[in-house]
Amino acid sequence: MKHFVYVLKSQKDGRLYKGMTKDVANRLKQHNSGETKSTKAYCPWVLVYTEEFKTIEEAVNREKYLKSGVGREFLNERLRSSTE
């Protein structure tokens, strides 16, 4: 089974949300329908980044990294370069 780490951007205020799932499209729908308590105040969300992993352990570790200071810097640089 594949596991994904994803990053969403709020169209309301530009904040980023990092998460992990097996089904990115369904998870995005959940965030945008207000089913997720921590993100419902910042809808709508758009998917801006994904990574795929073979194991849940790899995905968990990557999500933790992206939530760290160094990981946030990596994401900001990656997202900045993708819009140029």
* Domain ranges across the chain: 3-82
Q: Taking residues 4-23, what's their average pLDDT?
A: 97
Residue among 21, 22, 6 at smallest CA distance from 66 = 6
User: To the nearest whole percent, how much of the chain has pLDDT over 90?
Assistant: 92
Q: Among the residues of the chain, which ranges form H helices? A: 24-32, 56-67, 69-82
Q: Quick check: 29 and 11 in contact, CB under 8 A?
A: no
Q: Does the structure show a pLDDT above 90 at 27?
A: yes
Q: Taking residues 19-32, what's their average pLDDT?
A: 98
3-82, CATH topology level = GIY-YIG endonuclease (3.40.1440)
Q: For the whole prediction, is pTM greater than 0.75?
A: yes
Q: Does the structure show a pLDDT above 80 at 17?
A: yes
Mean pLDDT of the chain: 95
